[in-house]
């Protein structure tokens, strides 16, 4: 290769390498490094597509109960185990019918393509199984709120998330063990 051809190809090689680097960074930004779940941006893009195609989809919002106390009492490594276990259990529950995401801290989201998808009670049971950590079994409780898109006057992700959030806080407020609430109109 002559000098002139090499000089002309170097910017192209640099641009190609930089483009590959940026693509990798974008992909990584759409996945939570701890749980492997989609981040807010990645989950939202997929959820919007599901909403356009599936009129009877169900949106869920989940929050780990007493997460700060778990971290304070058992350390941040125990908190990481709780987050990872929640992600794994939620992903398994969604299966091929939906997708799960972590939108920050101890908050998770999911969307299931059909209301005939997996049972919410089975999700709550799976999420509330104790965690094995350092030879101990730590309790795990998660409040879950859900919203069927078909129940909304206008099918939008933001409205579904707001309704699921209200239902989740209603679940947090009920007496006894945490559970699942569905917003009903």
Residue of 32, 63, 66, 106 with catalytic role: 106
Report the relative pairing of strands 142-148 and 180-182 from DSSP bridges. parallel
Residues 6+ apart with CB under 8 A from 146: 58, 59, 60, 61, 120, 164, 167, 180, 181, 182, 183
Cα–Cα separations (whole angstroms), residue 152 to 53, 95, 161? 16, 25, 11
Split at pLDDT 50, 70, 90, the class of 4 is confident
pLDDT at 178 over 90: no
Query: What is the percent of the chain where pLDDT is above 90?
Result: 68
Split at pLDDT 50, 70, 90, the class of 24 is low
Q: Is 106 a catalytic residue?
A: yes
In the sheet that 58-64 helps form, which strands lie side by side, from edge to edge? 98-104, 107-112, 58-64, 142-148, 180-182
Split at pLDDT 50, 70, 90, the class of 7 is low
- Among 9-23, 35-49, 130-144, name the one with the lowest average pLDDT: 9-23
Give the model confidence (pLDDT) of 133-158 as tens digits: 999 999 999 999 999 999 999 989 99
- Among 21-35, 89-103, 170-184, name the one with the lowest average pLDDT: 170-184
Looking at residues 80-96, what average pLDDT do you find? 96
């Amino acid at each position: 290769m002559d000098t002139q051809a090499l000089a002309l190809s170097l910017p192209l090689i640099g641009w190609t390498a930089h483009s590959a680097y940026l693509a990798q960074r974008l992909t990584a930004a759409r996945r939570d490094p701890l749980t492997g779940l989609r981040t807010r941006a990645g989950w939202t893009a997929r959820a919007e597509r599901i909403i356009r195609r599936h009129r009877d989809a169900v949106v869920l919002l989940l929050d780990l109960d007493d997460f700060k106390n778990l971290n304070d009492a058992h350390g941040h490594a125990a908190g990481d185990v709780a987050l990872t276990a929640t992600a794994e259990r939620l992903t398994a529950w969604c299966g091929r019918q939906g997708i799960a995401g972590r939108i920050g801290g101890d908050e998770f989201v999911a969307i299931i393509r059909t209301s005939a998808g997996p049972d919410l009670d089975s999700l709550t049971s799976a999420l509330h199984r104790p965690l094995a950590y350092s030879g101990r079994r730590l309790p795990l409780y998660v409040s879950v709120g859900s919203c069927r898109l078909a129940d909304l006057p206008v099918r939008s992700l933001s409205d579904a998330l707001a309704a699921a959030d209200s239902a989740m806080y209603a679940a947090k407020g009920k007496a006894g063990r945490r559970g699942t609430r569905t917003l009903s109109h």
